[in-house]
Amino acid sequence: MLIRLDKYLADMQVGTRSEVKELIRKKRVTVNDNIVTKPESKINTDGDSVNVDGNAIMNMSILCLTSLPVLFRQLMTIHVQQ
């Protein structure tokens, strides 16, 4: 899914829209190892790698959904043991 970079970073709680726009303008954000300077740039949330100050920004909803089966098994194991 294509989304504006500033919206994506704000949704990932990096900062407010205005704060992340400033990060982008200060060349602290990279997408696929390329420095991005325009907040309105579009990214692909399914495949692009986004970093702020070298730290990867990950879509936590995807992480939670993929971890759900493991969590469910752990909860079921705890319940069965009691």
Q: How confident is the model at residue 67 (pLDDT cuts 50, 70, 90)?
A: low
How confident is the model over 29-47, as pLDDT tens digits?
999 999 999 999 999 988 8
Q: How confident is the model at residue 14 (pLDDT cuts 50, 70, 90)?
A: very high
Which one is predicted more confidently, 70 or 79? 70
- Enumerate residues 6+ apart whose C-beta is below 8 A from 81: none
- 31, 47, 53 from 18: Cα distances, Å: 19, 25, 17
How confident is the model over 44-66, as pLDDT tens digits?
988 899 999 999 987 755 444 45
- pLDDT given for residue 58 in this prediction: 79
